[in-house]
Amino acid sequence: MSKRFRLILSASFAVLALLACFAYGESVRAEAKIDRAEALERYGGELASIVVAARDLEPGEKVDSLTCEEREWVAELVPEGALTSLDDSLGLTLTSPVSAGTPLTETALREDSARLAIPEGTLAMAVALGDKIGVRDEVPLGTTLVGYRVVDGETRCISTHLTVIGIDDEGAGSASSITVAVPLEDVSAFIAAAGDGSLRLGQPADGLYAQGSDGQEEASSSEGETSPTAPVDVEPVEGELPPADEGILTEPIPSTPEEQL
């Protein structure tokens, strides 16, 4: 058997193998179409277009033409909140794993722009969440926090108006970090506390920190308060007279008969 004949024979077998693979793929697709037709016959012929995962997807991956595709689905079996247009879903980020062929819903996605604007007079800074930070990982956007610095057992408040303006998810609904708006006057202390790991955050009750008449923040407290108009018991000092009031005699009162004459 010549070398040329062996090459021709090998090429022929390769072509036959490719044709067999192609035929097998076509048979699988045809079988899938048959199963789909039977399902449509059982559940009705109403179809809807939805977005499904083209492959197994992990949290952090974005929706695009490589990770997702539009597919017709039995309308009665479409899950609530399913995405219906791939073009309208481009750029969304997964927050939980999605298996191949599974419909994508709004609960599994978020937009990168889903964060609040930075308030005027503040600086946006990220804070990594951990066991010691002091706030839960599902803290809502817009929440006001109080920042403390804990060093050698001593605690000092560094800011009473930290606003949560962003949440970075690591998947399954848990947040790995949050972004807070820090007032400019508190930035230095905040950076120092965040840098050495002494930063602690807490969520105050509504109205705990109020603005005083001079613009300074005052902590509200219901204990130990004294009304400015409440009477105070004070013993009179000998030789002194009470302060003058309008309509009341203010001249000294004679204390002896000679002075009265």
Q: Which domain holds residue 4?
A: 1-42
Domain presence at residue 230: no
Question: Is the Cβ–Cβ distance between 67 and 54 less than 8 Å?
Answer: yes
Q: Which amino acid is at 248?
A: I
Domain presence at residue 150: yes
Q: Which amino acid is at 170?
A: E
DSSP 168: E
Give the model confidence (pLDDT) of 76-89 as tens digits.
788 888 999 888 88
Cα 53 from Cα 70, distance rounded (Å): 9
Cα 204 from Cα 220, distance rounded (Å): 11
Cα 241 from Cα 253, distance rounded (Å): 10
Domain presence at residue 231: no
Domain presence at residue 233: no
Give the model confidence (pLDDT) of 167-184 as tens digits.
776 544 455 788 899 999
Q: Which residues contact 98 (CB under 8 A, 6 or more apart)?
A: 53, 56, 57, 104, 108
Residues 37 and 52 placed together within one structural domain of the fold? no
DSSP 100: T
Cα 16 from Cα 1, distance rounded (Å): 21
Of 110, 141, 157, the residue that ends a domain is 110
Rounded to an integer, the average pLDDT of 145-164 is 91
Residues 89 and 31 placed together within one structural domain of the fold? no
- Between 107 and 67, the higher pLDDT residue: 67
- Between 5 and 83, the higher pLDDT residue: 83
Domain presence at residue 236: no
> Quick one: tokens of 188?
């230095």
- Between 10 and 183, the higher pLDDT residue: 183
Domain presence at residue 184: yes
Of 166, 196, 211, the residue that ends a domain is 211
- Between 229 and 98, the higher pLDDT residue: 98
> Quick one: tokens of 115?
């964060």
> Quick one: tokens of 208?
């705990």
Region of 118 (left: φ > 0; alpha: ψ -120 to 50; beta: rest) is beta
- Which range of 40-49, 156-165, 221-230 scores highest in mean pLDDT? It is 156-165
Domain presence at residue 192: yes
Give the model confidence (pLDDT) of 94-128 as tens digits.
877 888 989 998 888 765 444 678 889 999 988 88
Domain presence at residue 216: no
Residues 89 and 10 placed together within one structural domain of the fold? no
> Which band of pLDDT confidence, cut at 50, 70 and 90, is reported for residue 186?
very high
Number of Cβ within 10 Å of residue 204's Cβ equals 13
Question: Which pTM does this prediction carry?
Answer: 0.42
